């Protein structure tokens, strides 16, 4: 009964925090929409990010007040607000998102995900994503390109254009290479060679690096570990049933070779990316085993 009361109270406080700040964020978004110059839009972007970071700090304070969860963050000491990062993390639970907020909010630029271009048309949410400078991407399938070869390469061009705004502001881009949350059933279905991870997909990170590689200062190799290796549900976090979350951050350099090839059409470069991602994942699997 106590856990349900804690969960409901935490949920209501998080909702209140969101309702208080969504108004100012949308107002700034509308102002940004009508600003005539790139410099004025960049200034408003900074204000929008401040609102988003304030919301995230509010969420952190609510979790600290309402739940006993210990957030053990290792490796955040050298993070910088004026650098651009690509975050690569394992993915097990919706609790991973609050873990990233705990690790990175106001230590790096406010983190972002690549979103499908269609999401920009979702009422209110699309405007908020646009104001927060979330990059919108459009990926064409191989089958579609076989019918429309004239559009080959246009998806990357659209994404690069969406990332132009990051020339004015530093950015933290988050990429989950597994593409979905880890479960033992998915691991077995994939016949994953890793003890604690699903098979990673190299195509997504190759696409991100092709669009943003020259603007990224470092790779943040993030490993999120839960006690006993059991990923909790989001309700477990809300209701105070998660004792500890560990976030291990390794800062790695990115070689220019990682974005100077053609992943779609060059099999040698594609194999190079596969091998690089596989080594990254072998190291991460061993790190999870050591932390457990």
DSSP string, 144-178: HHHH-GGGTTHHHHHHHHHGGGGGTS--EEEE-TT
Q: How confident is the model at residue 211 (pLDDT cuts 50, 70, 90)?
A: confident
Q: How far apart are CA 163 and CA 153, in angstroms?
A: 16
Q: How far apart are CA 283 and CA 292, in angstroms?
A: 14
| Predicted TM-score (pTM) of this structure | 0.86
On whether the CB atoms of residues 172 and 110 are closer than 8 A, the answer is yes
Domain annotation covers residue 212: yes
Domain annotation covers residue 58: no
Domain annotation covers residue 201: yes
Residue 244: give its domain's CATH number: 3.40.1130
What does the pLDDT read at residue 265? 82
What tens digit of pLDDT does each residue of 109-134 get? 988 877 777 766 777 677 787 777 78
Domain annotation covers residue 30: no
Number of domains in the chain: 1
Is a pLDDT exceeding 90 seen at residue 7? yes
What tens digit of pLDDT does each residue of 130-187 get? 777 787 766 655 665 566 666 565 656 666 666 666 766 788 988 888 888 888 899 9
Torsion of CA 175, 241, 52, 220, to 10 degrees: -30
């Amino acid at each position: 009964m106590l856990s349900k009361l804690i969960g409901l109270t935490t949920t209501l406080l998080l909702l209140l925090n969101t309702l208080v700040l969504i108004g100012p964020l949308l107002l700034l978004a509308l102002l940004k929409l009508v600003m005539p110059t790139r410099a004025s839009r960049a200034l408003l972007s900074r204000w929008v990010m401040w609102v988003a970071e304030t919301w995230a700090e509010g969420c952190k304070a609510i979790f600290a007040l309402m739940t006993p969860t210990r957030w053990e963050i290792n490796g955040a000491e050298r993070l910088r607000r004026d650098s651009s990062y690509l975050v690569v993390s394992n993915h097990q639970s919706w609790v991973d998102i609050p873990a990233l907020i705990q690790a990175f909010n106001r230590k790096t630029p406010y983190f972002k995900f690549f979103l499908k271009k269609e999401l920009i048309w979702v009422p209110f949410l699309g405007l908020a994503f646009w104001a927060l400078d979330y990059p919108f991407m459009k990926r064409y399938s191989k089958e579609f390109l076989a019918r429309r070869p004239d559009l080959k390469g246009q998806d990357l061009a659209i994404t690069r254009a969406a990332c132009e705004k990051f020339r004015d502001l530093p950015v933290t881009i988050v990429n989950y290479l597994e593409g979905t949350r880890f479960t033992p059933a998915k691991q077995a279905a994939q016949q994953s060679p890793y003890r604690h991870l699903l098979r990673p997909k190299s195509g997504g990170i190759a696409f991100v690096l092709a669009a943003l590689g020259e603007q990224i200062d470092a790779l943040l190799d993030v490993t999120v570990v839960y006690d006993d290796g059991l990923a909790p549900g989001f309700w477990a976090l809300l209701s105070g049933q998660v004792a500890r979350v560990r976030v291990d951050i390794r800062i790695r350099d990115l070689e220019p070779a990682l974005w100077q090839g053609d992943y779609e059409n060059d099999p040698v470069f594609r194999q190079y990316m596969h091998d690089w991602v596989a080594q990254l994942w072998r190291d991460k699997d061993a790190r999870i085993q050591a932390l457990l």
